[in-house]
Amino acid sequence: VDRRTLLKGGAVGVAGLVGGAVLGREVLADGAGSPAAVATTGGGDVVDFRGPHQAGVATAPPAHAAFAAFDMRNRSPRAVAPLLALWTIVAESVTSGDARPDDTGETKHMGAGNVTVTFGLGPSLFDDACAARSARPDGLVDLPAFAGDRLEPAWNGGDLLVVVRGDTGTHVSHALRQLRNAAADAAAVRWVQHGFLPHATGKTPRNLLGHYDGTANPAPDSDAFARLVWLEPGDGPSWMDGGTFLALRRVRFHLDAWDAAGLTTQEATIGRKRESGAPLSGGEETTPMNLDAVDGNGVPKIPADAHARVANQSGPGMVRRGYSFDNGTVAGAGPDAEPDIGMMFAAFTRDPAIQFVPVQHALSASDALNRFVVYTSAGLWAVPGGTTSGPIAAGLFA
């Protein structure tokens, strides 16, 4: 069953695999669009914080990022609303490069550095009776358990998520520090994972398995991108209009096993050539996968358990904006500790119940990549729409 059949409502449709989907599957149909390489930024420009959508979703990924989860000291709207209002001011300052009076000064003379700040709200923010429970978007659920996960407490949970990105590690560290300082009375950092990508190569970024990662993403200005990512009025509460959902998975790579497996196995695992990014069915990086292609013996050129095939066949599409991480070795694991190296998988979807959860279940069940990776976190975040004036997510407290 190919993607087209699935999307056109074939008998073995995606809808049959999921419960609780918010949007009709047909709304997302034909979402695949034509893939376009989205290269990392360079050149130190300003990315406007304000707009109908939050920056940091459609905008090209700079080479550095930090994913930071915060816990509210008190989840009352009386505490959350002022924090988001203050964070909005700080985010405007760090993205514009115009330092506030209490700025700590590390990026003086460095320019704005394509810094983006993207805010997300976690399910736990809506747990307490005192929080705005009725305003919780239907799509914002605790993710189900996925087979094979080894979730580590150190990397899970949080009431609020801040994703900071920028051209240099100094830009990212600085921006996160200003946000952290501003939050001090209201929220505490729960976990932070820094990440990086190849800098301004003009090509799709490669992950630490050596493969291009993001090839199948639709172009940011395409109809397909909008249909797969942005909530429209009626999709959720009004403060989510122009927003999206972010699924985050911290994935550790078993690099020793990957390196030992050799190139042929690696390429069969992904379903694409490492050097060119071309599908194993032929062509170049942006050539669509031909899932029906077989070799002279009738064996599928893209194996049944190849990551890209399984992901392609299990949902209508998503926009992936992951970052690599390298934290040395697994903390506290002794002299034989394995590398703590991998990827913060980050995917934006308009309806995670259709676009993310079934894909993750399918991958957990049959992805050849599972031999080489372990998922250590699972989180879903509501990313409110952008704001042209006033604080982010103001409608949540209206």
**Residue 360 within binding range of ligand HEM, rule CB under 6 A:** yes
- Cβ closest to ligand HEM, residue 164 vs residue 308: 308
Q: How far is the CB of 108 from ligand HEM (least distance, A)?
A: 37
Instruction: Give 128's contacts (C-beta < 8 A, 6+ positions apart).
Output: 75, 76
280 binds ligand HEM (CB under 6 A): no
Told to check if 36 binds ligand HEM by CB under 6 A, we report no
Which is nearer to ligand HEM, 107 or 324 (by Cβ)? 324
Output the smallest distance, CB 210 to ligand HEM, in A.
Answer: 9
When asked if residue 273 is in the footprint of ligand HEM (CB under 6 A), the reply is no
Those residues whose C-beta lies under 8 Å from the C-beta of residue 340, and which sit 6 or more positions away, are 252, 325, 326, 327, 328, 329, 330, 331
- Min dist. Cβ of residue 287 to ligand HEM (A): 11
Cα radius of gyration (the chain): 21
Residue from 114, 116, 173, 207 touching ligand HEM (CB under 6 A): that is 207
CA 366 to chain CA mean position, Å: 22
Which one-letter amino acid corresponds to residue 373? V
| 300, 313 contact by CB (below 8 A) | no
- Whether 343 and 323 have beta carbons less than 8 Å apart is answered as yes
Range in contact with ligand HEM (rule: CB under 6 A) among 112-120, 130-138, 208-216, 230-238: 208-216
Q: Which is nearer to ligand HEM, 68 or 251 (CB)?
A: 251
216 touching ligand HEM, by CB under 6 A: yes
**Candidate list 94, 135, 280, 363; residue touching ligand HEM; CB under 6 A:** 363
Site for ligand HEM in 231-270 (CB under 6 A): 249, 251, 270
Which segment (84-92, 171-179, 294-302, 353-361) binds ligand HEM by CB under 6 A? 353-361
CB of 373 to ligand HEM, least distance (A): 4
CB of 135 to ligand HEM, least distance (A): 27
Comparing C-alpha atoms, which of 35, 56, 24 is closest to residue 381? 56
Least separation in angstroms between residue 370's CB and ligand HEM is: 8
212 contacts ligand HEM (rule: CB under 6 A): yes
356 lines the binding site for ligand HEM (CB under 6 A): yes
Whichever of 289 and 354 has its CB closer to ligand HEM, that residue is 289
Interface map 294-333 toward ligand HEM (x if CB under 6 A): -------------xx--xx-----x---------------
Based on the shown chain and the rule CB under 6 A, indicate whether residue 136 belongs to the binding site for ligand HEM.
Answer: no
Nearest 5°: phi and psi at 191? -155, 155
Least distance CB 4 / ligand HEM (angstroms):
12
CB closer to ligand HEM out of 62 and 214: 214
Among 373, 378, 382, 396, interactor with ligand HEM by CB under 6 A: 373
Smallest separation (angstroms) from ligand HEM to the CB of 266: 10
Closer of 97 and 288 to ligand HEM (Cβ)? 288
**Distance between CA atoms of 132 and 76, rounded to whole angstroms?**
8
Taking the complex as a whole, how short is the minimal distance between the CB of residue 64 and ligand HEM, in angstroms?
19
What is the token pair recorded at 198? Answer: 């190849």
Nearest residue (CB) to ligand HEM, 94 versus 310: 310
Length, in residues, of the chain: 398
| Residue whose CB is less far from ligand HEM, 155 or 356 | 356
Query: How many Å apart are CA 9 and CA 7, to the nearest integer?
Result: 5
Q: Are strands 323-329 and 244-253 parallel, antiparallel or unpaired?
A: unpaired
Positions touching ligand HEM (CB under 6 A) are 207, 209, 211-216, 249, 251, 270, 272, 289, 307-308, 311-312, 318, 343, 345, 347, 356, 359-360, 363, 369, 373
